[in-house]
Amino acid sequence: MRNVVGIISAAALVMLLPASALASKAFFPPGDGNVANGEKIFKEGKGEVPACTSCHGEDGTGNDDLATPRLSGQFFSFLLKQLEDYASDARQDMTMFVMNANAKGLTPQDRRDVATYLAARKVDFGGSDIPALKENGQPVGEVWKGRKLVEIGSPVRSDGYPSDLSSKGKGIPACKSCHGYAGRGAPPVYPMIGKQRYTYLVNQLKNLREGKRANDPMGQMQAVARKLSDEDIHNAAAYLTNAHPTTPGNIRTPYDH
């Protein structure tokens, strides 16, 4: 019996190898732009384009009052795609109506450079300050329900019993299945959504649900977002913004005793 277990775990180890190889930098290039030019654009802007820091913060971690996203540490390929999508109007900035002009004001090489700089930028960012948002009167969901949605989704069970309390078995796939554990991202296509700004997450999920943002490949994300209620969105964002990318944290749910 012990041998069988040994063989199985050895086989499991071998099966794990290609996955870790896939996650390596060799498979996912960190960006090949000019970091110095990217940094200059980020901090000083260029021509008519204002400094990115003015809205995304000195450290590039975004701002909940302005509803801007964290950019530092996001994947190169995703950042570049978003800048290209703003430049071609495939994505509209529905928040401040500035990003389309900003992206168009940069050359393709500039966009590549700033995406390279941001992707490589390491920041110690814990996510949005949820108590502060609540104090400002922003609706904030429940972390444990959000975590459930991210990890297991809300599958429709064959007995019809709702398997998720917040979303009543609506056939929502686990966010994790595309965006990775705790929303830490699965490059090159699936962005990091963990440790992203709460307000930004909520806005994008609503935009994607309503078709105001439609630049996702094959409508993959819109199909998911259409199944989400406001409550689901607030719950998922409440969990994701502070989700630790590597450790599960406290797994207990706040049931009354």
Residues at the interface with ligand HEC (CB under 6 A): 41, 49-50, 52, 54-56, 67-69, 71, 74, 79, 81-83, 93-96, 98-99, 102, 114, 149, 172-173, 175, 177-179, 189-191, 193, 201, 203-205, 215-217, 220-221, 224, 236
Residue 199 has a CB neighbour count (10 Å cut-off) of 23
Question: In angstroms, what is the minimal distance from the CB of 98 to ligand HEC?
Answer: 4
User: What is each CA distance from 203 to 107, 112, 128, 196, in whole angstroms?
Assistant: 28, 26, 14, 12
Q: Which is nearer to ligand HEC, 37 or 129 (CB)?
A: 37
**Residue of 219, 151, 137 lying closest to 184 (CA atoms):** 151
CA dihedral 233, 230, 82, 185 (to 10 degrees): 10
Radius of gyration of the chain from Cα atoms?
A: 20
**Closest separation between CB of residue 58 and ligand HEC, Å?**
13
Q: How far is the CB of 232 from ligand HEC (least distance, A)?
A: 7
Q: How far is the CB of 30 from ligand HEC (least distance, A)?
A: 16
Q: CB nearer to ligand HEC: give 163 or 177.
A: 177
Residue (19 or 52) nearer to ligand HEC, CB: 52
Instruction: Give the C-alpha separation, 149 to 173, whole Å.
Output: 8
Contacts of 234 (CB under 8 A, 6+ apart): 139, 140, 141, 146, 202
Which CA distances in Å does 246 have to 28, 122, 175, 179, 242? 19, 16, 16, 14, 12
Q: How far is the CB of 45 from ligand HEC (least distance, A)?
A: 6
Residue closer to ligand HEC by CB (options 143, 175) is 175
In this structure, are residues 219 and 202 in contact, taking their beta carbons and an 8 Å threshold?
no
Pick the closer one to ligand HEC by CB: 105 or 129.
105
Indicate the residue among 129 and 189 with the shorter CB distance to ligand HEC: 189
Q: How many CB atoms lie within 10 A of CB 176?
A: 19
Residue closer to ligand HEC, measured from CB, 156 or 189: 189
Upper half-sphere CA count for residue 173 (Cβ side, 13 Å): 12
User: How far is the CA of 85 from the CAs of 33, 128, 152, 193, in angstroms?
Assistant: 18, 26, 31, 18
CB of 37 to ligand HEC, least distance (A): 12
| Minimum distance of ligand HEC from residue 187's CB (angstroms) | 11
User: What CA–CA distance (Å, rounded) separates 93 from 67?
Assistant: 11
